[in-house]
Structure 1
Amino acid sequence: MALVQRIILKLKPSALIRTPPMNYSTESSIKKSVFISQSKDIYTNLALQEWILENLNLTERHVLMLWQNDPCITIGKNQNPWQETNFQSLPHITDLGVKLARQKTDGSSMYHDDGNLNMTFFTPKERFNQKYNMEVIGRALFREYSLKVNSNTEELTLRNDYNISGNTKKLGKTNSYHQCSLLVKVNKVDFTQSLMNQKIGILQENGIKTKKSNIMNLCEENHNVTVKNLLKIIGWEYMRTSAFVVRDGGNQLANKQIGYQMINPTESWFPGISKIRESLTKWDWIYGQTPDFKVARNFHLPENVCNHLDNEFSMKMVVSGGIIKDVTFSVPSSLSTGSFHGEVCVMTRTLIGRQFSPDLLENLEHSLKNLVDDKEKIASDYFREVVSSF
């Protein structure tokens, strides 16, 4: 442990130079490190990933970071958490719940638990090569388990159509990373329940939606595959592979690398990481970063309440930066009385300017406080049923 900390401290201050020299190193001068994070907190590991990207001098040192998380969901920088996740159930899916984190990169939503192995490959921006990284993973799986993985696509697949990974990338000012999350022995029930799309009527006008695909754990293909073993074999494959091209240098090349290092992602090791982590946990980042969207729901009232030809009760909501900007609802003409008819704006302090939440029943009940007609009271009951799914 002390040796590892000395290695990290040795990188400062020269290692924190963000602009690499003009003449890049030759392939033979590159040394590789395999960092293994000792944290299973998603926010800490994402903060460590950003710290390395922004601070480490990778000119003559490439890094592979291996890490795991307690149950959580990661979503892309431009995704909608209420659309991508089973938002209301996340606190109850596991004994400790499922945390929600927004990454600093684009990409799809992904469920993590002890059955995932996350790998982040760090290089200078000019040397970014996702295909190289995927091939290293594929070669490790074949060498140890004889698993033939298709690594020629954006995702790693088995049997051509079963997805076993999630990938994202980021190109910084001088450095870059490719992150790959490998499905080893993930709880597929929790995976499915966590990412179950809530049908709450979101109309996403922009942003990125996750494409659904068939998923598979590596242990389903070969029961001998474990995360513990993969930590060793993928790290070793990485160190025995030449830095620029996928060429096997064997044990001789691997033994020349810096090797494995247990990393403690704390402020004393990585000054400034606490501030990065804090920013990743804020509401303004996790939810407020969501691209603008609208919510629309229609509900048909029974004939004993209104004319069957005019029985649609609807609501529309505009959300920007995670904040409710406007709410309107339409009342069938057969229920209209006085000024309460057609499309009505709900301009109340209980809703406008509030943080969006699927649970809007209480606020919307207040918005209907002026409904006094018996028919309107019946309609409001149905309206509560419509919005209770939010």
Structure 2
Amino acid sequence: MTHRIVPADPFKIHVPEEELQDLRRRLQRTRFPNEPLGNEHWAYGTSLPYMEQLVGVWRDDFDWRKQEEALNRFPQYRATLTDADGEDHEIHFIYECGSGENPVPLILTHGWPSTYREFLDVVDPLAHPEKYGRQGPAFDIIVPSLIGYGFSSKPRIPIGPAAIADLWHRLMTEVLGYDKYAAQAGDWGSFVTSRLALQHGESLLGIHLTMLPLRPHLKHASQPPVSEEEGRWIKEMQNWWRQEEGYRSIQSTKPMALAFALMDSPAGLAGWLADKYYRLGDTDKTDTTEGMIARFPFDTILTQLSIYWFTGTINSANTLYKAGPAEGSASLKAGEKVTVPTAYSEYPIDTLPLTPRSWAERSYNIVRWRIMKKGGHFAAMEEPALFADDVRDAFREMGL
């Protein structure tokens, strides 16, 4: 079941050589900060020894052209769609048609501080399972760059997940011609995918999430009292966020105050984003530098950082943290719930408490529940084989 791309143009990434040279010059002039004693485990933020290695590799050894070739190995397009407020958005996406006669259309949506590259290693296994000794289903894989991220356009007026969900639905139906499709996501992508299920549930075959962003209206009569387990989890989550929400507080209130530093300094960009990979990735927290490198090899994380740098999208990406809450896209209305069949897989993060299933079932029609043994917030990039098998199994169990 392949579909002709209608209002979209083929796209290939090519960064001009002068931009590569400018990046190297900026990295050569990096001024490193002092590091207070006691930051071996990143208690104050991104560690100096790690950053010295990262910047050195980015400056001297990182081969962007090689990574550019890898990014271009799947067909890519850009389609222009107009939102409800009349603003045009160029949406960049991978489109890899799956094997066999009836592959399942599947849209994969990344989050922050990630890019569409997060899914690059699972596109082929999900589209062509037979090449990896796996049974179907096979999928037509669509991987868009979020609005304001990577090779999609920067919005003039920042938009949130609910508005993006409407654009994603039009991408799948009007541009690609699918009547029904499935969706998978984590982080901000899980907000978008949850809104897809709420706003366009009639077109969703099922969803698979690695984060559960929707919050129930607890005072509605349909909601039972908060259980003891849920109460403990809520307190643990609040304690966790008190330690980790500094970045979110800035980006959700005054993102422009941060933007000038991140746009002007590649080392500044790397330091800001690397902290989140360390916190949210399933890294070895005993040997922190080697643990980070093992979990996120330099070529992998530097490709993510380079996409932000070359496209100049860090500020437009960060402003999603202001646009999302303003839109209220995480809050369910009284009695509202996702009725689309939902599979949830929770990947371990070092300090994040496990979600009670009862809490998830307040907001979602949970049909499959998995607690994974390894992998973190960037599951498709950290454990691509495990992730691809899990997603495929989930949709197979849904009857797709």
Larger relative strand fraction: 1
Bigger radius of gyration, 1 or 2? Answer: 1
Q: Relative CO higher for 1 or 2, CA cutoff 8 Å, sep ≥ 6?
A: 2
Specify the TM-score bucket, using the shorter chain as the normaliser. Answer: under 0.3
Larger relative helix fraction: 2
Relative to the length of structure 2, the TM-score reads: 0.21
Relative to the length of structure 1, the TM-score reads: 0.22
